[in-house]
Amino acid sequence: MKITVVGGTGECGRGFILRWAQKHEVIVGSREAKKAEECAEEINKALKGWGIEDPRVSGTDNASAIMASDLVVLSVPYRFLETVTGDLKESYSDQIVLSPVVPMGRVEKHFEFTPPALGSASFQVRDLLPPSVRIVAAFHTVSSVIFQDLERVINGDVLVCGDDDEAKKIVSSLISEIKDIRPLDVGPLAVAPMLEALTPMLLNISRRNKLKNAGIKVVEG
Protein backbone atom coordinates (compact mmCIF):
# COMPACT_ATOMS: atom_id res chain seq x y z
CA MET A 1 0.00 0.00 0.00
CA LYS A 2 1.20 3.51 -0.81
CA ILE A 3 0.63 5.83 2.14
CA THR A 4 1.08 9.58 1.96
CA VAL A 5 1.56 11.53 5.18
CA VAL A 6 0.66 15.15 4.49
CA GLY A 7 2.52 17.18 7.08
CA GLY A 8 5.03 14.36 7.33
CA THR A 9 7.88 16.73 8.16
CA GLY A 10 6.27 17.55 11.52
CA GLU A 11 6.43 15.62 14.77
CA CYS A 12 2.97 14.08 14.46
CA GLY A 13 3.55 12.95 10.90
CA ARG A 14 6.90 11.38 11.72
CA GLY A 15 5.22 8.75 13.90
CA PHE A 16 2.98 7.53 11.08
CA ILE A 17 5.96 7.30 8.73
CA LEU A 18 8.22 5.44 11.14
CA ARG A 19 5.55 2.94 12.11
CA TRP A 20 4.18 2.14 8.64
CA ALA A 21 7.34 2.40 6.53
CA GLN A 22 8.44 -0.91 7.99
CA LYS A 23 5.93 -2.69 5.72
CA HIS A 24 4.64 -0.11 3.24
CA GLU A 25 5.81 2.49 0.78
CA VAL A 26 5.38 5.85 2.50
CA ILE A 27 5.51 9.27 0.87
CA VAL A 28 6.30 12.37 2.90
CA GLY A 29 4.20 15.29 1.71
CA SER A 30 5.12 18.93 2.25
CA ARG A 31 4.49 22.32 0.67
CA GLU A 32 8.15 22.24 -0.36
CA ALA A 33 9.32 19.13 -2.22
CA LYS A 34 12.94 19.64 -1.13
CA LYS A 35 11.98 19.74 2.53
CA ALA A 36 9.99 16.51 2.10
CA GLU A 37 12.90 14.82 0.31
CA GLU A 38 15.32 15.78 3.09
CA CYS A 39 12.90 14.50 5.72
CA ALA A 40 12.48 11.19 3.85
CA GLU A 41 16.25 10.74 3.65
CA GLU A 42 16.58 11.37 7.38
CA ILE A 43 13.81 8.89 8.22
CA ASN A 44 15.26 6.19 5.94
CA LYS A 45 18.55 6.57 7.77
CA ALA A 46 16.80 6.33 11.15
CA LEU A 47 14.89 3.20 10.11
CA LYS A 48 18.09 1.52 8.98
CA GLY A 49 19.48 2.32 12.41
CA TRP A 50 16.51 0.50 13.90
CA GLY A 51 17.40 -2.56 11.81
CA ILE A 52 14.80 -2.02 9.08
CA GLU A 53 16.30 -3.15 5.80
CA ASP A 54 15.58 -1.20 2.62
CA PRO A 55 12.94 1.24 3.99
CA ARG A 56 10.80 2.79 1.24
CA VAL A 57 10.26 6.40 2.27
CA SER A 58 10.29 9.15 -0.35
CA GLY A 59 9.33 12.82 -0.30
CA THR A 60 7.65 15.27 -2.65
CA ASP A 61 5.17 18.13 -2.72
CA ASN A 62 1.72 17.56 -1.23
CA ALA A 63 -0.19 17.47 -4.52
CA SER A 64 2.11 14.87 -6.11
CA ALA A 65 2.18 12.80 -2.92
CA ILE A 66 -1.60 12.72 -2.66
CA MET A 67 -2.09 11.70 -6.30
CA ALA A 68 0.38 8.82 -5.94
CA SER A 69 -1.18 7.29 -2.82
CA ASP A 70 -3.85 4.81 -1.77
CA LEU A 71 -4.24 6.34 1.67
CA VAL A 72 -3.64 9.93 2.78
CA VAL A 73 -2.97 10.85 6.41
CA LEU A 74 -3.81 14.47 7.18
CA SER A 75 -1.19 15.00 9.86
CA VAL A 76 -1.51 18.78 10.10
CA PRO A 77 -2.76 21.29 12.67
CA TYR A 78 -6.38 22.27 12.14
CA ARG A 79 -5.45 25.75 10.86
CA PHE A 80 -3.83 24.13 7.80
CA LEU A 81 -6.68 21.72 7.06
CA GLU A 82 -8.19 23.64 4.16
CA THR A 83 -4.75 24.09 2.58
CA VAL A 84 -4.22 20.32 2.29
CA THR A 85 -7.80 19.44 1.36
CA GLY A 86 -9.89 22.06 -0.47
CA ASP A 87 -6.91 23.80 -2.03
CA LEU A 88 -5.65 20.45 -3.37
CA LYS A 89 -9.06 19.00 -4.22
CA GLU A 90 -8.02 18.09 -7.76
CA SER A 91 -5.26 15.84 -6.40
CA TYR A 92 -7.79 13.55 -4.70
CA SER A 93 -9.75 10.79 -6.44
CA ASP A 94 -10.84 7.70 -4.49
CA GLN A 95 -8.20 7.53 -1.76
CA ILE A 96 -8.89 6.70 1.85
CA VAL A 97 -8.27 9.86 3.86
CA LEU A 98 -7.35 9.39 7.51
CA SER A 99 -8.00 12.42 9.70
CA PRO A 100 -6.50 12.69 13.19
CA VAL A 101 -7.07 16.48 13.01
CA VAL A 102 -8.49 18.22 16.07
CA PRO A 103 -9.80 21.80 16.20
CA MET A 104 -8.89 22.94 19.69
CA GLY A 105 -7.60 25.90 21.58
CA ARG A 106 -6.04 26.84 24.88
CA VAL A 107 -8.17 28.93 27.24
CA GLU A 108 -6.25 30.21 30.25
CA LYS A 109 -4.96 27.00 31.86
CA HIS A 110 -6.95 24.38 30.00
CA PHE A 111 -7.72 23.15 26.47
CA GLU A 112 -11.12 23.20 24.78
CA PHE A 113 -12.58 21.53 21.72
CA THR A 114 -13.39 24.32 19.25
CA PRO A 115 -15.22 22.70 16.32
CA PRO A 116 -16.00 24.56 13.10
CA ALA A 117 -19.55 25.37 12.07
CA LEU A 118 -19.89 21.93 10.46
CA GLY A 119 -19.25 20.26 13.83
CA SER A 120 -15.86 18.59 13.44
CA ALA A 121 -12.64 18.58 11.42
CA SER A 122 -13.68 15.28 9.84
CA PHE A 123 -16.97 16.75 8.66
CA GLN A 124 -15.05 19.64 7.15
CA VAL A 125 -12.76 17.22 5.30
CA ARG A 126 -15.82 15.46 3.90
CA ASP A 127 -17.25 18.79 2.78
CA LEU A 128 -14.02 19.94 1.08
CA LEU A 129 -13.10 16.74 -0.79
CA PRO A 130 -14.77 14.82 -3.64
CA PRO A 131 -17.55 12.41 -2.60
CA SER A 132 -15.49 9.50 -3.96
CA VAL A 133 -12.96 9.96 -1.15
CA ARG A 134 -13.51 7.67 1.85
CA ILE A 135 -12.90 9.43 5.16
CA VAL A 136 -11.88 7.71 8.37
CA ALA A 137 -11.27 9.51 11.66
CA ALA A 138 -8.77 7.98 14.09
CA PHE A 139 -5.61 8.48 16.22
CA HIS A 140 -6.99 11.28 18.38
CA THR A 141 -5.83 9.66 21.62
CA VAL A 142 -2.27 8.52 20.80
CA SER A 143 0.60 10.69 22.01
CA SER A 144 2.80 11.86 19.14
CA VAL A 145 5.81 11.65 21.47
CA ILE A 146 5.28 7.93 22.08
CA PHE A 147 4.15 7.23 18.53
CA GLN A 148 7.46 8.28 16.96
CA ASP A 149 9.57 6.36 19.48
CA LEU A 150 9.84 2.82 18.10
CA GLU A 151 11.17 1.55 21.43
CA ARG A 152 8.08 2.67 23.33
CA VAL A 153 5.19 0.30 23.91
CA ILE A 154 1.96 2.23 23.43
CA ASN A 155 -0.40 -0.38 24.92
CA GLY A 156 -3.59 1.50 24.13
CA ASP A 157 -6.60 1.64 21.87
CA VAL A 158 -7.19 3.65 18.71
CA LEU A 159 -10.83 4.59 18.21
CA VAL A 160 -11.92 4.50 14.57
CA CYS A 161 -15.01 5.89 12.88
CA GLY A 162 -16.18 6.32 9.30
CA ASP A 163 -19.05 5.65 6.91
CA ASP A 164 -17.21 3.20 4.63
CA ASP A 165 -16.78 -0.21 6.26
CA GLU A 166 -14.03 -1.33 3.88
CA ALA A 167 -12.03 1.83 4.53
CA LYS A 168 -12.36 1.33 8.28
CA LYS A 169 -11.17 -2.26 7.94
CA ILE A 170 -8.11 -1.16 5.97
CA VAL A 171 -7.23 1.52 8.53
CA SER A 172 -7.84 -0.93 11.38
CA SER A 173 -5.54 -3.45 9.71
CA LEU A 174 -2.79 -0.82 9.50
CA ILE A 175 -3.31 0.01 13.17
CA SER A 176 -3.06 -3.67 14.08
CA GLU A 177 0.38 -3.82 12.48
CA ILE A 178 1.65 -1.60 15.30
CA LYS A 179 2.60 -3.68 18.31
CA ASP A 180 0.35 -3.41 21.35
CA ILE A 181 -2.21 -1.09 19.73
CA ARG A 182 -5.80 -2.24 19.28
CA PRO A 183 -8.22 -0.62 16.81
CA LEU A 184 -11.81 -0.27 18.01
CA ASP A 185 -14.64 0.55 15.61
CA VAL A 186 -16.87 3.14 17.26
CA GLY A 187 -19.33 3.68 14.41
CA PRO A 188 -20.06 6.08 11.54
CA LEU A 189 -18.37 9.39 10.88
CA ALA A 190 -21.24 11.04 12.77
CA VAL A 191 -19.42 10.27 16.03
CA ALA A 192 -16.22 12.06 14.93
CA PRO A 193 -16.90 15.11 17.15
CA MET A 194 -16.79 12.85 20.20
CA LEU A 195 -13.44 11.39 19.16
CA GLU A 196 -11.91 14.77 18.39
CA ALA A 197 -13.02 16.14 21.76
CA LEU A 198 -11.02 13.41 23.51
CA THR A 199 -7.72 15.07 22.58
CA PRO A 200 -8.15 18.25 24.64
CA MET A 201 -9.68 16.16 27.42
CA LEU A 202 -6.56 13.98 27.61
CA LEU A 203 -4.32 17.05 27.56
CA ASN A 204 -6.27 18.50 30.48
CA ILE A 205 -6.04 15.20 32.39
CA SER A 206 -2.30 15.08 31.81
CA ARG A 207 -1.75 18.68 32.86
CA ARG A 208 -3.87 18.61 36.02
CA ASN A 209 -2.72 15.20 37.23
CA LYS A 210 0.94 15.45 36.23
CA LEU A 211 0.73 12.56 33.78
CA LYS A 212 2.84 12.14 30.67
CA ASN A 213 1.47 11.19 27.27
CA ALA A 214 -1.94 10.00 28.48
CA GLY A 215 -3.92 7.71 26.17
CA ILE A 216 -7.01 5.55 26.23
CA LYS A 217 -7.46 1.84 26.94
CA VAL A 218 -10.97 0.38 26.92
CA VAL A 219 -11.44 -2.42 29.46
CA GLU A 220 -14.26 -4.87 30.02
CA GLY A 221 -15.99 -4.83 33.37
Would you state the pLDDT for residue 8?
87
Report yes or no on 218 lying in a domain: no
Q: Is residue 21 domain-resident?
A: yes
Interval 140-182: pLDDT, tens: 999 888 888 888 888 899 999 999 999 999 999 999 999 889 9
Total of domains in the chain: 1
Q: CATH code at 72?
A: 3.40.50.720
Nearest to 150 by CA among 8, 44, 45, 50: 50
The answer to whether position 214 is within a domain reads no
In a domain, 38, yes or no: yes
Residue 196 belongs to domain spanning? 2-209
Within a domain: residue 221? no
Q: Is residue 68 part of a domain?
A: yes
- The residue among 185 and 147 whose pLDDT is bigger is 185
The whole-angstrom separation of Cα 142 and Cα 27 is 21
215 assigned to some structural domain: no
